[in-house]
Structure 1
Amino acid sequence: MMDTQLVLNGFVKRVETYFPHKEIVSRTSADKIHRLTYKDFATRTRKLASALEKIGMTKGMKVGSFAWNQHRHLEAYFAVPCTGAVLHMINIRLADEHLEYIINHAQDEILLVDIDLFETIERILPKLTTVKQIVVMSDSDDLPESQFSALYSYEKLLAEAPDDYQFPTDLDENLPAAMCYTSATTGFPKGVVYTHRGLVLHAINLGLVDSFGLSERSVALPVVPMFHVNAWGIPFASVNFGAKLVLPGPNFTSHTLIDLIEEERVTFTAGVPTIWMGVLQELEKTPRDMSSLEMVAAGGSASPPALIQKFTHKFGIPYKTVYGMTETSPIVSVAALTSEMDDWSEEEKIAALSTQGLTVPLIETEIINEDGEVPADGQTMGELRIRGPWISSEYYNDERTIDAYRDGWLYTGDIAVRTPQGNIKITDRTKDLIKSGGEWISSVDLENALMAHDAVFEAAVIAIPHIKWQERPLACVVLQEGYDTSVKDELKTFLATQVAKWWMPDDIVFVREIPKTSVGKFLKAKLRDDMKDYQLTP
């Protein structure tokens, strides 16, 4: 067999050769949408690579991007790694302290910054020890006022770059190509480096029918941010397959997303469940034409069965839950209905789609406890561990590696069961499990049960210390519009039909919102801190 290297450079060449006229739609502001072809994209990407090398980018250098989902960010996704440098996608929603930490820890030397985000970078610049140049991404050549001298206009750099630049042809597939940091709930974020080989294999996997099923015919709208785990690999896969890409840009709303889906005839989209809860609310108020959608992918946290049921049955939109982590590039498993489920009841099918699904090809997963690998009985809990060609093997320059990577496996900290059909079902994080009277209670199952009630918009269940039982569950609920706290007894009665008596929360409290991480996951550590003075009745 030929020993050819799996590197991202081939994606750019493929798309401009076979699909030069396919379109990228990029929203860069509330009233500005760019339309460019893949031929334009390839030309601009090579110009960007040449321009960045001219201002100092070298092989192995870390180049940070601080940007929304837009076409310039997509160009950076390839221009940087295809020269042998490393693109560090920086989470724009992090606190200043964490931004300072990850930019310095990664040792970013060049930053690519969207102009409307520049103020944040300007604010922390005095504490950034490695940054030498900043390229401002904007629809114009204008630069913001700044004390920083090495400031460049993205579009001006491209205009001055030569047309004949070619990517190097000798890159090794095991070279680092990109990196992201986890959205830490405690301590500082942890860095994860992705290789060309891992990203290429992951992108190809997204074309499998039982995965995302992306192809040349797809119109893909990645709602998940491009700074979060490679936007789940969707930009890489879309370019490789020649799919039309729709990039939603800054400060989008549910209404914005619905407009883009309807107007661009989007077939595939992906984001966290909270995004789809908002979209669902809009659709219920004002129905729109969503008939083009062939798949909505949701991950980052559990999708309530009620949400899946409404998408699939009320609006006829296929909805799949997916599972992954920053450490896994990220796709590990996808919930799809297999042939043996064809004759299942609708309730059974929704239950299957509510799991984290079957492990995708090339990845291995095991769920283990003190007795070894758990049986596939849907009940026995254990910690999920993962290995495979796009699973990271360590944290970047971080001693916390020893806590998560052992014996060739990534230990996820997620507690799960395996269904008889082989699906992974996450029941909790190790730190979020509730241990009451020596027995485990799944906060995720309680949350899903609560969110099946029409009055509940969001629900999070946490452990509260208890004198007699060690811990007991407390449910924190955000109500839908039109409901008030008088619904508490009704919720308790409803929940009693769904879960075991000893699982019942000792109380339900109503809150304005559930605190979330920068990528939309429930931030239970913050919720526990908010409720630390809450006293349960013994």
Structure 2
Amino acid sequence: MLGSMMKQELLISDLIVHAAKYHADTEIVSRETTGEITVTNWAEVDASARKLASALGKMGLEHGDRIATLAWNNHRHLKIWFAVSGGGMVCHTLNPRLFPEQFIFICNDAGDKAIFFDKTFMPLIVGTRAHLKTIEHFIYMGPHDPEVAAAVPGAIFFDDLILGGDDAYQWPALSEDMPCSLCYTSGTTGNPKGVLYYHRSTMLHTFAISLPDGLNLSSRETVLPVVPMFHANAWGIPYAAAMTGAKLIMPGPGLDGDSLLSMIDDHKVTLALGVPTIWQMLLAAAAKSGSKMASLKRNVIGGSAAAPSMIATFRDTYDCETIHAWGMTETSPLGTANQIKAKHLDLEVDAMAALRLGQGRPPFGIDIRIVDDQGNPVPHDGKTEGALQCRGHWVVDTYFGKDSSALTDDGWFDTGDVSTIDADGYMVIRDRTKDIIKSGGEWISSVDLEGIAVSHPGIAMAAAIGAKHPKWDERPVIVAVRADGASPSEEEIISYFTNKVAKWQVPDAVVFTDAIPLNGTGKMLKNKLREQFGNVLIDRDA
């Protein structure tokens, strides 16, 4: 033997052990459902998580059991994450914004044995409890509460569990090939599908997103994960914060613009992460209050493409760098992040702005490609469009409870996105396969049209859909929500597209509505919009 290196399993419990040992006094600030602010630290999170893990074991919960959470981003939810996964069980984050029927399906499909819930979601528990076939324990995330005890008979109380936990509990020695968490897709058609993450895949993902060319976390950051912990594990940020010792600001239920603005300014947030709809509300609140969000240096946008005007506002008005990222539940979720290379540092302002509009390039550990309709790879020239596929250390192979692989015959996962990739690996999402508008055999990007529409000062939100057309099969239509106090006309919005896209890509119509439906992770439900407005051009000609 020439020599050897130590071999240690890659385990989530190691993250909280490290954070408690080397970043013990770094604060975790949490907004509760009551609105009050709780301040704890990494050492206390570790101690409480170990006591909670021991208490769950005393309840008869075993390795591999799925333990569900129905909760906001707060300190108790964070402790549950580490207690469940570190204790050898599977943390199953549930989306509270689902329809009750989907919620019931997911709980039963996962075979959850216990569920933790915040008080906000107690009505959902009460209304669905009779249909949850496998859940044996209902645990309220707070101290003893007579109202909860009356509404949910037999409820267990989180704070009591902690008090009954074992101070001397040590994290078990697990295999890194054991599952640690479970998330279900937020698909708009059919039943959601479960993606089962493993300790190894999660730890490798955590290393990747912490790197400078990932999401660039460090112990110097104060991080606000607005993205919910039920949305692809909050993009892995709680894990990365523990790995790097970053300060965490947990927003709880306060996801409106004013609440987020106060958290940013009061706690000097340097990095915030969320979907575009969240940032629209934040920018409106900041403009109204006059705040310059002086501490905020970077924000990460994912979930759907951000409008160029939003990125420009963060840059020019608030001196905040916007980092586009792309991923999905099936990729743990990070697939790409738009971090620039050294050769881009001297780019002119307009060229740099154009580069930052895309979703970026993959970190080490994941690979991407685009293919044509026959599955053949197409050039990475920044112009040729194709179906985006990926593979890597933290990409799904088989969905939870399914026998057949989710991959192509040659081992790639088809994302359902249409994109381009350039020679440096920078990827730009052109559209979802199901959302791209096909007019007369040519493709029109709904993402591009939406970006132009929302840059109009009179538009607060906009979706582009393909409406049926007797000659061209489909033509683009904008469904828009007017900004407060604004009253742009249809003709004004259509003319706004002049010289911004090719003439044949200019929308045929603009339909104004009071609200655009969103799914549980803030993405626009275009299938609902197509159902409602898909015949608008035919109806107008009738």
Match of 1:472, SS state, is: strand
Are 2:273 and 1:270 aligned? Answer: yes
Residue 152 of structure 1 and its aligned partner are, at CA, apart by 0.7
Cα distance in 2 between the residues matched to 1:370 and 1:510: 35
Match of 1:40 among 39, 44, 47: 44
Residue 160 of structure 1 and its aligned partner are, at CA, apart by 1.8
Match of 2:370 among 367, 386, 400: 367
Counterpart in the other structure of 1:473: 476
Cα distance in 1 between the residues matched to 2:72 and 2:409: 35
The one-letter code sitting in structure 1 at the alignment partner of 2:515 is E
Contact 1:141 1:155 in 2 (8 A): no
Superposition CA RMSD, Å:
1.7
Match of 1:330 among 322, 333, 349: 333
Counterpart in the other structure of 1:349: 352
Match of 1:26, SS state, is: strand
Count of aligned pairs between the two proteins: 535
1:467-507 deviation per Cα after TM superposition (whole angstroms, max 9, x unaligned)? 11111111111222232143x32322220211111111111
Cα distance in 2 between the residues matched to 1:203 and 1:441: 36
Cα distance in 2 between the residues matched to 1:113 and 1:122: 11
Match of 1:435 among 429, 438, 444: 438
Cα distance in 1 between the residues matched to 2:509 and 2:19: 56
| Structure 2 counterparts to residues 73-88 of structure 1, below 5 A | 73-88=77-92
Contact 1:88 1:179 in 2 (8 A): yes
The one-letter code sitting in structure 2 at the alignment partner of 1:232 is W
Match of 1:323, SS state, is: strand
1:229-256 deviation per Cα after TM superposition (whole angstroms, max 9, x unaligned)? 1100000110121111110012432111
The one-letter code sitting in structure 2 at the alignment partner of 1:321 is H
Contact 2:286 2:292 in 1 (8 A): no
Cα distance in 1 between the residues matched to 2:52 and 2:146: 18
Match of 2:316 among 309, 313, 318: 313
Match of 1:283 among 261, 282, 286: 286
Cα distance in 2 between the residues matched to 1:345 and 1:94: 45
Are 2:159 and 1:155 aligned? Answer: yes
468-477 vs 64-73, greater mean Cα deviation: 468-477
| Structure 2 counterparts to residues 80-479 of structure 1, below 5 A | 80-140=84-144, 142=146, 144-146=148-150, 149-169=153-173, 171-370=174-373, 372-398=376-402, 405-479=408-482
Cα distance in 2 between the residues matched to 1:523 and 1:118: 26
Are 2:65 and 1:61 aligned? Answer: yes
Counterpart in the other structure of 1:534: 536
Counterpart in the other structure of 2:10: 6
Give the TM-score normalised by structure 1: 0.96
Match of 1:379, SS state, is: coil
Residue 378 of structure 1 and its aligned partner are, at CA, apart by 2.5
Cα distance in 2 between the residues matched to 1:8 and 1:405: 30
Match of 1:188, SS state, is: coil
Match of 2:32, SS state, is: strand
Residue 146 of structure 1 and its aligned partner are, at CA, apart by 4.6
Match of 2:526 among 502, 524, 530: 524
Contact 1:463 1:474 in 2 (8 A): yes
Give the TM-score normalised by structure 2: 0.95
Contact 2:148 2:155 in 1 (8 A): no
Q: What runs of 5+ residues in structure 2 fail to find an aligned partner?
A: none
Cα distance in 2 between the residues matched to 1:239 and 1:113: 23
Cα distance in 2 between the residues matched to 1:447 and 1:315: 23
Contact 1:337 1:349 in 2 (8 A): no
Match of 2:113, SS state, is: strand
Match of 2:477, SS state, is: strand
Residue 159 of structure 1 and its aligned partner are, at CA, apart by 1.0
1:140-191 deviation per Cα after TM superposition (whole angstroms, max 9, x unaligned)? 554614575542111011112221111112x111110000111120111111
Residue 313 of structure 1 and its aligned partner are, at CA, apart by 1.0
Cα distance in 2 between the residues matched to 1:212 and 1:331: 9
1:213-242 deviation per Cα after TM superposition (whole angstroms, max 9, x unaligned)? 111111111100011111000001101211
Match of 1:366, SS state, is: strand
Counterpart in the other structure of 1:22: 26
Cα distance in 1 between the residues matched to 2:362 and 2:151: 50
Counterpart in the other structure of 1:503: 505
440-449 vs 57-66, greater mean Cα deviation: 440-449
Residue 362 of structure 1 and its aligned partner are, at CA, apart by 1.3
Cα distance in 2 between the residues matched to 1:132 and 1:139: 20
The one-letter code sitting in structure 2 at the alignment partner of 1:184 is G
The one-letter code sitting in structure 2 at the alignment partner of 1:133 is H
Cα distance in 2 between the residues matched to 1:125 and 1:57: 19
The one-letter code sitting in structure 2 at the alignment partner of 1:14 is H
Residue 527 of structure 1 and its aligned partner are, at CA, apart by 0.6
Cα distance in 1 between the residues matched to 2:45 and 2:369: 41
189-198 vs 348-357, greater mean Cα deviation: 348-357
